[in-house]
């Protein structure tokens, strides 16, 4: 199922938006919209309503807070897990805030790695600003999944565009209300982010007033000097200023730097249909990358805690059709698997019945699972008894062994056999003799006889009955 994603940005008295369509195969820009507040409108709600009417149905909404309300800082933290980062970012950012952290909504985005640290762009904004922003969107029927900063999204998008240049970038996004400055190093990581409360002067036909010029380019110089370890960046102009032919020349002359237009970059590899987009919509286009079907751009999101997004993310819906097809395939496979199990269980039942019938005369009612083992044990026991009774020609019978023992012992030997045990291993003999010498004679007599193999005297000890000697002999069968 296709999903429609709307990215909304506010700039002074203007609302801009970009609408894209997403499926599991592609991501395509459908249209861009722009509406300005008229003189009779108290806020931007009516202008936003007109944008929503033009855009039509949208399944996921992303919006951006004005940068002048947000405090920002790049932090290096010794964690990689997002949950742990979420626990410590607010405390690490607290000392840099102009207001109490308890009165703020804190968000962050992981932008890279440095040694063993994770680099995060952390930002904080007063709760009341977030509440007003969400109420404004709600009046137009919008519930944004992400509330972010357009300038940071723009820096992330520039990092993904294959433009053949690995130099550092200083992005200056000049709008009518304020200007955002982002320094991106040659590795694509944002190193600094600033907001200047000056922008284009609409009363001067969209030009920069001298005061705004001084403030904006002074902040740009300070940003470059504060990060002198980075290579000399190239200047990229974005926003409405990029469409004014006089401002790129002014920026190049003032900063003594080469200037590139944001429109020179080709975004078609990221979102189809974006090659002809006007420069002032680049921020909206960048925010759309947060919902890309593959490798989405990580944005900081102010929808935290009490402002957490409760609606549908739209992610599952974008793959609903293939998910249904996959579910049907899995159901068919499960049905086939169940039928195979039923057939095999029937076969096992028939085999068990036949095993019981065969084993019943010898074992009675027996569990088929143990019938084979019990039959083997029964056969082994019967073979043992048969050998001991003389049924095995490989060994002598018990009677023959008794005869051989009687013949082996000399007549008149003062020794008496009291117990004789015969098994497969041989014989075990307990007896009583008049002396240890007699016991030794018994042992030698058995060793001389050809019926016995190894003869061992296991025990010999004098008893308490008339000085006799009790002994215990074992002999293997030869």
Which CATH number among 3.90.400.10, 3.30.1360.100, 1.20.1440.230, 3.30.1330.10 corresponds to the domain 398-477? 3.30.1360.100
Question: Looking at residue 460, what is its pLDDT?
Answer: 87
Judged against a pLDDT cut of 90, whether residue 327 lies above it is answered with no
Note the pLDDT tens digit of each residue in 142-181: 999 999 999 889 888 888 875 545 678 888 888 887 899 9
pLDDT tier at 388, thresholds 50, 70, 90: low
CATH superfamily, region 164-264: ATPase, nucleotide binding domain (3.30.420.40)
pLDDT tier at 390, thresholds 50, 70, 90: low
Q: Do the first three CATH levels of 1-103+118-162+266-315 and 164-264 match, i.e. the same topology?
A: yes
Judged against a pLDDT cut of 50, whether residue 319 lies above it is answered with no
pLDDT tier at 58, thresholds 50, 70, 90: very high
Note the pLDDT tens digit of each residue in 332-354: 888 888 888 888 888 888 888 88
Question: Looking at residue 394, what is its pLDDT?
Answer: 46
Note the pLDDT tens digit of each residue in 349-371: 888 888 878 877 777 777 877 77
Q: What is the mean pLDDT of the chain?
A: 83
- Domain map (residue ranges) of the chain: 1-103+118-162+266-315, 164-264, 324-388, 398-477
Token digits for 189?
Answer: 């990581």
For the question of whether the overall pTM of this predicted structure is more than 0.75, the answer is no
pLDDT tier at 423, thresholds 50, 70, 90: confident
Note the pLDDT tens digit of each residue in 245-301: 888 888 888 888 888 877 777 777 788 887 777 788 888 999 999 999 888 988 999
Which CATH number among 3.40.50.410, 3.40.50.300, 3.30.420.380, 1.10.3450.40 corresponds to the domain 1-103+118-162+266-315? 3.30.420.380
């Amino acid at each position: 199922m296709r999903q429609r994603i709307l990215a909304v940005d506010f700039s002074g008295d203007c609302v801009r938006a970009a609408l894209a369509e997403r499926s599991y195969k592609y991501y395509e820009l459908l249209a861009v919209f722009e509406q300005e507040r008229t003189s009779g409108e108290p806020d931007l709600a009516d202008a936003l309503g007109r944008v929503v009417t033009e855009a039509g149905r949208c399944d996921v909404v992303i919006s951006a807070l004005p940068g002048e309300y947000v405090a920002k800082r790049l932090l290096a933290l010794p964690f990689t897990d997002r949950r742990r980062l979420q626990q410590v970012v607010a405390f690490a950012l607290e000392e840099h805030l102009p207001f109490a952290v308890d009165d703020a909504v804190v968000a962050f985005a992981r932008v890279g790695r440095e040694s063993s640290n994770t680099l995060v762009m952390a930002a904080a904004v007063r709760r009341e600003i977030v509440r007003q922003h969400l109420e404004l969107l709600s009046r137009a029927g919008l519930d944004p999944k992400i509330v972010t900063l357009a300038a940071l999204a723009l820096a992330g998008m520039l990092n993904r565009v294959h433009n053949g240049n690995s130099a550092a970038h200083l992005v200056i996004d000049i709008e009518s209300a304020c200007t955002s400055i982002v320094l991106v190093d040659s590795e694509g990581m944002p190193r600094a982010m600033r907001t200047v409360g000056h922008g284009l002067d609409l009363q001067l036909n969209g030009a920069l007033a001298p005061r705004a010029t001084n403030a904006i380019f002074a902040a740009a110089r300070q940003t470059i000097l504060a990060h002198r370890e980075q290579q000399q960046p190239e200047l990229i102009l974005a926003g409405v200023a990029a469409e004014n032919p006089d401002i790129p020349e002014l920026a190049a002359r003032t900063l003594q730097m080469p200037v590139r237009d944001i429109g020179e970059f080709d975004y078609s590899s990221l979102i189809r249909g974006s090659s002809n987009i006007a420069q002032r919509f680049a921020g909206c286009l960048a925010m759309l990358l947060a919902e890309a079907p593959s490798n989405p751009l990580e944005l900081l999101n102010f929808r935290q805690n009490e402002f957490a997004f409760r609606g549908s993310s739209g992610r599952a819906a974008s793959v609903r059709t293939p998910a249904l097809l996959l579910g049907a395939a899995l159901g068919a496979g499960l049905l086939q698997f169940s039928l195979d199990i039923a057939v095999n269980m029937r076969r096992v039942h028939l085999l068990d019945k036949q095993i019981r019938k065969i084993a019943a005369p010898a074992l009675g009612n027996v569990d088929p699972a143990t019938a084979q083992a019990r039959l083997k044990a029964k056969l082994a026991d019967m073979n043992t008894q048969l050998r001991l009774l003389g049924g095995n020609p490989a060994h002598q019978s018990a009677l023959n062994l008794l005869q051989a023992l009687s013949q082996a012992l000399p007549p008149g030997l003062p020794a008496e056999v009291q117990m004789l045990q015969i098994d497969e291993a041989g014989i075990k003999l307990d007896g009583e003799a008049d002396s240890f010498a007699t016991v030794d004679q018994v042992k030698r007599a058995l060793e001389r006889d050809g019926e016995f193999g190894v003869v061992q005297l296991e025990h010999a000890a004098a008893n308490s009955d008339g000085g006799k000697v009790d002994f215990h002999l074992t002999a293997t069968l030869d």
